[in-house]
Amino acid sequence: MLQLSTDKTFHFELLRVLGTSRSYGADVGELLTVAEKLIPGDFESWAKEFEALADYLVADTQQGKHPVTERNAFFRIASYYRAADFFLHGNLEDPRIKSFWAKQTYYFDEAISRMQVPGVRYTVETPSLKIPTIFYQAKNDLQCRPTLLLCNGYDGSQEEMLHAFGFAALERGFNVITFEGPGQPTVLREQNLGFITEWEKVVTPVIDHYSVHPQIDAEKLVLLGYSFGGFLIPRSAAFEHRLFAAVCVDGIFDAHQAFINDTPPPARKLLEEGKAEEYNEMINGAKQHNTNLRWAIEQGCWSFKAETPYEFMQKTQTFTLKDIYQKIQCPVLVLEAEEDHVFAGQPELLAGALGSLATYIKLGWADSAEEHCHVGAIDKSSGVVLNWIEDLIATSKQSSNRRKL
């Protein structure tokens, strides 16, 4: 595959944004121009170039005349401000962490207000949490439809999920609900809450709220998790049994072990021995020469509300399905990427544990979908996912009809 940057992490994140061009999240020429300007591995260069592109489009977009052109531009502007924010989380005092997010939210909201059926934000409140959601209807009618609930992962937003799977689902007649929980961008910024293991405390209130909506078929709710969401979703399915099906893009059985495996072997030994000071010193030194490790640790400390790399790793210990996977009752589609650099091997472990409940599909070089979460191949991966859901619904209807006869 053509490399968009000599830095592998920059290449992956550029491909991640570029891959949304089919669903209004980017334009090819704009991304290639940014890629040319970036200094590989330089986080500040990344932030400045994406901010400059977003700012240019804001100035270049005429408002009030051409709503479709405005909508498409606003989606791209929001994507580029999200991208500008991506590598900033190592410095919690950086004011751009909030300002870029405020801008992406504003322009995303402007964009969804111009959709044929506008997306609507709603906050689901619990005693300890406010869960931001967005509801998208496939059509502005009274028909009760199967609905996808889309959840991002370790670093992604609910806004990204509209581009990753939402538009493809809407085209096929599904309603779509996106949402975020603790540790994810909006909740972390507005409520100062880091990731929690008990993700059912997010999913169940969302289902409680939306399952009574007259345009939602409460018996056909499909929960989809993206990246780290590949752990959060099966975790939720173990306790929330109203789901018709669950989808993991890609699957994770033991997130804690995956995080450990992503660190240098000598550091793993220090972690096992509980040598916190030595571990932190080694990781902080190693990350200066490794873009992916630097980003992963800084993002982990930020999203898990941890002061040090050692504390971050300690907080991930409960993020495993070892003792609860047997509680999952619904069918689960588990995808795996052939060259996954983040959770390699985890999807196969999850599918193996679930046995007959799991449908396991591996996408690779032949599909141009070998990267983590199949970034750059959104049309391929969303097609695989939505075909599986449609077939499952069709089979369910046939079984129901046979029972009636």
The CATH number given to 118-254+319-405 is 3.40.50.1820
pLDDT at 45 over 90: yes
Q: Tens of pLDDT along 114-152?
A: 999 999 999 999 999 999 999 999 999 999 999 999 999
Q: What is the CATH class of 1-114?
A: mainly alpha
Q: Give me the helix-helix angle, 276-286 and 291-303, nearest 10°.
A: 130
Instruction: Say whether the peptide bond before residue 250 is cis (omega within 30 degrees of 0).
Output: yes
2 pLDDT tier (thresholds 50, 70, 90): confident
What mean pLDDT is predicted for residues 90-102?
Answer: 97
Q: Tens of pLDDT along 270-288?
A: 999 999 999 999 999 999 9
263 pLDDT tier (thresholds 50, 70, 90): confident
* pLDDT above 90 as % of the chain: 94
**Cβ proximity of 205 and 127 under 8 Å:** no
Radius of gyration of the chain (CA): 21
Residues 6+ positions from 139 with CB-CB distance below 8 Å: 117, 173
pLDDT at 362 over 80: yes
pLDDT at 367 over 80: yes
Angle at 227 between CA 221 and CA 228, to 5 degrees: 90
Domain ranges of the chain: 1-114, 118-254+319-405, 258-315
Q: Which two tokens stand for residue 237?
A: 């399915």
**Cβ proximity of 103 and 81 under 8 Å:** yes
365 pLDDT tier (thresholds 50, 70, 90): very high
Q: Which two tokens stand for residue 169?
A: 């689902």
pLDDT reported for residue 396: 85
**Cβ proximity of 305 and 97 under 8 Å:** no
Residues 6+ positions from 7 with CB-CB distance below 8 Å: 40, 41, 291
pLDDT reported for residue 347: 98
